[in-house]
Amino acid sequence: TSVHWHGLEIPLAMDGVPDFSQPPVPAGQSFTYEFTVNQHGTYFYHSHVLAAKQIGLGLMGFFIVHPKNPPDWYYVDRDYLIFLHAWKINPASPLPDVLEMTEFNYFTMNGQPGPQIPPLPAKLGEKVRVRVADLSMLSHPIHLHGHTFRVVEMGAGLLSPQQHMRMNTTSVSAAEIRTFDFVTSRLGKWLLHCHFT
C-alpha cells in the first residue's frame, strides 16, 4: 500500500502516489514517511493502493496541525471529527461492496448509519468545533438544526475572521474538509445530518 496526505505541502517522495511518487509498499514491508509540516489546518490521509477497498477497511484518518500562535477565536470546549462515506450494500450481503465507487445506497458518519451515529455531547454555552471530511464520491450539504454555525476552515487551512461564514448548512465536496464552530445556545437534542442522503 501507500499513504497519501490530502492538502499537506510535502516532498514528492512522501506524497504516497504509487508508481509516481513512490513504489507501493509490499505486503509485510514498511516505509517511514518523514516530512516537516509548515502549515496548519485539518487534513486527512488515506491509502492510495486499492483506495476504495483499503479506505473501506479503515486505512484513513485525520491529521490536525494546530497553529503555533492560535488566534483567540480558535479555542473551543469540544472538538469533533466526522468522516462521511457512501457505500453500496447489496441486499444479499451484510457487508459493503468496498470496490464500488459510483452507485451508493448507504450513507455513514464515522462508519455508522443513521440511528447508530453516536451523539456529539456538549453543555449549554460551550463552544463546539466540528471537522467534516468527505471520503465519498458525492457532495454532502451538512445541516445543523437549532443553531447557526460559523465556517472557519475550508480545503487546506483556516480562514481569516473576515472570511468566516455564518450558516446552518455547508456543502462538503468529495475529498474536501469543512470545519465549523458554534456556541450551544439551546438545550435539547439537535440533529446534524446531510440534506442530500
d(CA 157, CA 41): 5
DSSP string, 80-96: EEEEEEEE---TT-SS-
d(CA 194, CA 197): 6
How large is the average pLDDT for residues 102-116? 87
Closest CA to 132 of 153, 146, 114: 153
How large is the average pLDDT for residues 55-80? 93
Give bridge partners of residue 128 from the DSSP assignment: 78, 182
Q: Who wins on pLDDT, 108 or 124? A: 124
Over the chain, what is the mean pLDDT? 92
- Residue partners of 69: CB distance under 8 A and separation at least 6: none
d(CA 197, CA 190): 18
Domains and CATH numbers, the chain: 3-65 (2.60.40.420), 72-194 (2.60.40.420)
| Statement: the pTM of the whole predicted model exceeds 0.85 | yes
Q: Quick one: what percent of the chain has pLDDT higher than 90?
A: 75
